[in-house]
Structure 1
Amino acid sequence: MEIIEKAPAKINLSLDVLSKRSDGFHEMEMIMTSIDLADWLTFTLQEEGTIQLTSDSSFMPHDERNIVFQTALLVKNRFKITQGVSIHIEKHIPIAAGLGGGSSDAAATLRGLNRLWEMDLSLDQLAELGEEIGSDVPFCVYGKTAYATGRGEKIELIENIPPCWVVLVKPHKGLSSWKVFENLEVEKLPHFDTQAILEAIEAQSYTDLVKRAGNALEGISVLQQPKIEKIKERMLKFGADTALMSGTGPTIYGLCKHHSRAKRVVNGLKGFCDEVYLVRTLK
């Protein structure tokens, strides 16, 4: 028996850090949406009870250090599953990019094993399980557009954003989320009107959405990766309606309402960056 799951990347339309919590995490307020850049995970039933992980990528571990392996082991132990699984990851989302690739792979693993091992859990139950794996995993379980609070694990699904094109640029050097949050001075960060962004989405106003979108961590990440600012400037110069960092970076995305404008932005970035993608938002 074989099951295939799509694991879409995500971008942050807004990211606000409200405070540092007593547990060491930060209280967040975010709006995230899934995009049509995805990894593909194939799950094959194994009767001998072992977990095997393979991938076409040499840039990530294929053992207990991998979030997919950890997720499969958690599910197997929690629900006392005697069967095993062979998991293959076809990797397309850049690693350590702020696009939620690892979290989306973990979420796809929850969905895939739920079907493979016939556990009959709801998406809400899978999302609750995902909280134990990572802050972005619950959002990725649903894979739509959502308002997220807490450390990112409290999810309220909202209407999809107005359809548009997304130009993604991943600088060669990745960024560690831990390094971005380390010694973060919350009181010095900019803040964004998340409610206004929610209202723009509800009204399906693309113009208001691109005007209001923002990421409070961008300035911190730019200090560690100055090329982020240069990529943003280039995107806007060639016609992107807005250009923002996703998550903790370093990936920058530009939104374009029209495909012709998005192609112009892509052409303007060729030769300047190696990893450039042109995708759509997911319906």
Structure 2
Amino acid sequence: MDRLPDGYHELLSLMATVQLADQVFLSLKSAQAKRSPQGPSEGDLGWLVHSDDADVPPGPANICHKAARRFFERAGLDPTSFQLEIFIKKAIPMEAGLAGGSTDAAALLRMLWRIWKTDLAIELGLDPDRLTLQDLEALALETGADVPFCLKGGVRLSAGIGQLLSPALQAPAWPLLIAKPAASVSTAWAFETLDRDRQSGVACQKVEAEPREAQIWQKRLALENQARLADWVKNDFLEIMKEEIPAIDQTIKALARTGALAVSMTGTGSACFALYETPSQLHLAYKSLSESMTDTQLIMTRLSVEPEDLMG
């Protein structure tokens, strides 16, 4: 991974959606009141963005607010001409490396896209095709580095800052155990720590984003015998985070003792995961760890390997 002049990092990641999800509720109406002629600023749209979790940023600080604003502007519409309310019912742990905010923003973009295509553009007397799928993908990247993948879903190889995505890969819907220690990790802090350690001589694996890489992973995922999966599932952040946060090291070791196909950390952490061959193995691991790791949040789920249908 390389750090770019703008502060972003180029990564190469195998990304996968799982069946754990927040719920995003949207209310969209025409605004009744006339807004200020000076035009909108980040704080004066009057939109309500809130959640059942007090730790979720409200209003303009929320990534969903940013996504909605960018959507209307990309469609050539004045954001102040709409009354918008977004409610987020959280299930994805925060500051865990699970892209919870990005998945919420992607879900909102998909809702607005479908509303635009099936109803809103026609009501406004506009051509629905003035907003293209390429526009949607571009504003997803403007919203956040993980949002383009979350918009499309499935299992894909991601490169660059998140803008380069492979076609969806075929993969088994493996049972999955997510283990979130009490400690949380800020993504910004994780990258700062990574940069500091690299400057002090702690090197990360250098991987080139070659076109063949997606083909290699497709072959790996298609193998009947997945005994080598543990050798291929790596995370450059893991060794650094294990040093910084002992609970992550303890979680990885505990998961490794459950006989999983592969164990690693999600993104920048602090959540860790284990993949299993069968649901019964997953349930046995959950039962065992529930008794021994009472301060760790355990979530049973599975890979969600089907990509989103943005054309439907």
CA–CA distance in 1 between the matches of 2:224 and 2:207?
A: 19
Q: What is the CA distance between 1:23 and its match in structure 2?
A: 2.5
CA–CA distance in 2 between the matches of 1:258 and 1:217?
A: 28
Find the counterpart in structure 2 of residue 74 from structure 1: 70
Conserved? CA contact 2:229–2:262, under 8 Å: no
CA–CA distance in 1 between the matches of 2:92 and 2:133?
A: 23
Find the counterpart in structure 2 of residue 188 from structure 1: 203
Q: What is the CA distance between 1:235 and its match in structure 2?
A: 0.9
Q: Name the aligned partner's letter for residue 89 of structure 1.
A: I
Q: Name the aligned partner's letter for residue 10 of structure 2.
A: E
Q: What is the CA distance between 1:203 and its match in structure 2?
A: 4.6
Does residue 33 in structure 1 map to residue 16 in structure 2? yes
TM-score by length of 2: 0.78
Q: What is the CA distance between 1:146 and its match in structure 2?
A: 0.9
CA–CA distance in 2 between the matches of 1:51 and 1:207?
A: 51
Query: Secondary structure at the residue paired with 1:160?
Result: coil
Find the counterpart in structure 1 of residue 265 from structure 2: 245
Q: Which has the higher helix share?
A: 2
CA–CA distance in 2 between the matches of 1:31 and 1:100?
A: 14
Report 1:9-158 matches (<5 A): 17=1, 19-48=2-31, 50-79=46-75, 80-81=77-78, 82-117=81-116, 118=120, 120=128, 121-158=131-168
Task: String of CA shifts for 1:94-136, please: whole Å, max 9, x gaps.
Answer: 1111001001111111111122343544544322111111110
Across the two proteins, how many residue pairs are aligned to each other? Answer: 266
Find the counterpart in structure 1 of residue 299 from structure 2: 277
TM-score by length of 1: 0.86
CA–CA distance in 2 between the matches of 1:207 and 1:192?
A: 23
Conserved? CA contact 1:197–1:213, under 8 Å: no
Query: Secondary structure at the residue paired with 1:115?
Result: helix
Deviation >6 Å, runs of 4+: none
Rate the CA distance shift 1:97–1:266 in 2: closer, same or farther, 3 A: same
- Structure 1 unaligned blocks of 5 or more: 1-16
Cα-Cα RMSD: 2.2
Query: Secondary structure at the residue paired with 1:46?
Result: strand
Which of these residues, 259, 271, 281, is aligned with residue 279 of structure 2? 259
Among all aligned residue pairs of Structure 1 and Structure 2, give the percentage whose two residues are the same amino acid.
27
CA–CA distance in 1 between the matches of 2:247 and 2:157?
A: 29
CA–CA distance in 2 between the matches of 1:190 and 1:227?
A: 23
Q: Name the aligned partner's letter for residue 159 of structure 1.
A: L
CA–CA distance in 1 between the matches of 2:134 and 2:60?
A: 26
Rate the CA distance shift 1:174–1:106 in 2: closer, same or farther, 3 A: same
- Structure 2 unaligned blocks of 5 or more: 33-45, 122-127, 306-312
Q: What is the CA distance between 1:266 and its match in structure 2?
A: 0.9
Conserved? CA contact 1:234–1:268, under 8 Å: no
Task: String of CA shifts for 1:160-206, please: whole Å, max 9, x gaps.
Answer: 32221000011112101111111341761135798343430255664
CA–CA distance in 2 between the matches of 1:161 and 1:205?
A: 13
Find the counterpart in structure 1 of residue 249 from structure 2: 229
Q: What is the CA distance between 1:220 and its match in structure 2?
A: 1.4
Q: What is the CA distance between 1:142 and its match in structure 2?
A: 0.3
Does residue 200 in structure 1 map to residue 220 in structure 2? yes
Conserved? CA contact 1:43–1:88, under 8 Å: yes
Find the counterpart in structure 1 of residue 184 from structure 2: 174
CA–CA distance in 1 between the matches of 2:181 and 2:49?
A: 28
